Amino acid sequence: MLFLDKTITTFFQYDNSFLLRLSTFFDFLGSSTGYILLLLIILFYIDYRLALNLAIILSFSFIINSILKLTFRLPRPFETDQTVKNYLRINRFIGYGMPSGHAQTASSLFFELTKLIKYKIIIILLALLVLCIGLSRIYLGLHWPSQVLAGFTMGYFAIKIIDRFKTSQFFTQFLSMSCEYKITATTVFALLITLGGLTNMMILGDASSSLSIFAKGKELFSGCALLSGSACGGFLLRNKFSIRYNRYLFSGSLRFITGSSILLLTFIPLLLLIKKLSVNNATNSITAISLLYAYFFTTYIFAFSAFYFIQHFFNRLGLVFLEPKGTQHNEA
């Protein structure tokens, strides 16, 4: 398998400035930043429930991928093979490579959207986009082809797991619980997963460098925070209200510009500060763990605010209509 991986990678890594720019673009589309922007577009432009559903699916995929990476603990190509070109000139540890998170998340999103899209041409275009995201990771030297293929496969199974869970009796009973119970249980569940990830890293000797702990745990913590924050915001809002979007003229643009500006200008500087502190204070594990939980709660509040506080703000501006349950209007 390693010989085949090297052969395919060598074939794809052809020096070309256009291919590098194209691969970097697809790499961005498949990054967590790209998916956050996609969620904000869907949330503010299109449909609240669709955005909430996709946020939960994407975050679940992040969590599964992080757990698998901490289990397999396989390095990336440029870390072990000097013949692999490191086009992004990464000179630090950015997490394990198996399976590819970009490929898995793109695959999960694709298989979920195919349930909703009726036009075959759009499905084909989405499939090509997912393929390009996977190929970009090979071209940039960030994943072996086998790691990308494993990511595509796990994305498919992640959707199957979610679908099976949604139809389970446990999930039905959970939804019938009080809003307070669902919020508490979801948050505690997410925190327990982060604790499990930390335990894994401590037992397997990752405590030697705080930078290593932060880099290895960041995706797991952000996935857990996005899952619990968006779900809890959705639970609280939809417990009392039905949400209906104002579709008049430029209302969608105003929602997107206003909501994205508030969220990004408030929380992105905090997340960047936490990342910078993780680099500047790579001295002990306590520092890294503290920064990971700061990252978790910042992301949690970001997601919760997007699905709850911002919607109340829009309601005051008349950009959305929050109607008490029982009102005879259809949700947008």
DSSP 216-271: HHHHHHHHHHHHHHHHHHHHHHHHHEEEEE--STTHHHHHHHHHHHHHHHHHHHHH
Identity at 72, one-letter amino acid code: F
Q: What is the pLDDT of residue 116?
A: 85
- Burial bucket for residue 318 (CB in 10 Å: 0-12, 13-18, 19+): exposed
pTM: 0.86
Using alpha carbons, select from 135, 130, 157 the residue that is nearest to residue 147. Answer: 135
Distances (CA, A) of 199 to 202, 205, 294: 5, 10, 18
Please write the tens of the pLDDT for every residue from 184-218. 999 999 999 999 888 887 777 655 554 577 778 88
Residue-level pLDDT at 192:
94
| 327 pLDDT tier (thresholds 50, 70, 90) | low
Reported as a pLDDT band with limits 50, 70 and 90, residue 330 is very low
pLDDT over threshold 50, residue 332: no
- How do residues 216-229 score in pLDDT, each as one tens digit? 888 889 999 999 99
What is the percent of the chain with per-residue pLDDT over 90, rounded to a whole number? 36
User: What is the reported pLDDT for 208?
Assistant: 53
104 has pLDDT over 90: yes
User: Looking at residue 297, what is its pLDDT?
Assistant: 93
Distance CA 3, CA 331 (A): 54
**pLDDT at position 311, please?**
93
Between strands 241-245 and 320-324, the pairing is antiparallel
Asked whether the predicted pLDDT for residue 94 surpasses 80, the reply is no
Average pLDDT over residues 112-137: 90
Q: What is the pLDDT of residues 224-282, one digit of tens each?
A: 999 999 999 999 998 889 988 888 878 888 999 999 999 989 998 998 888 888 776 55
φ/ψ of 245, rounded to 5, equals: -85, 140
Q: What is the mean pLDDT of the chain?
A: 85
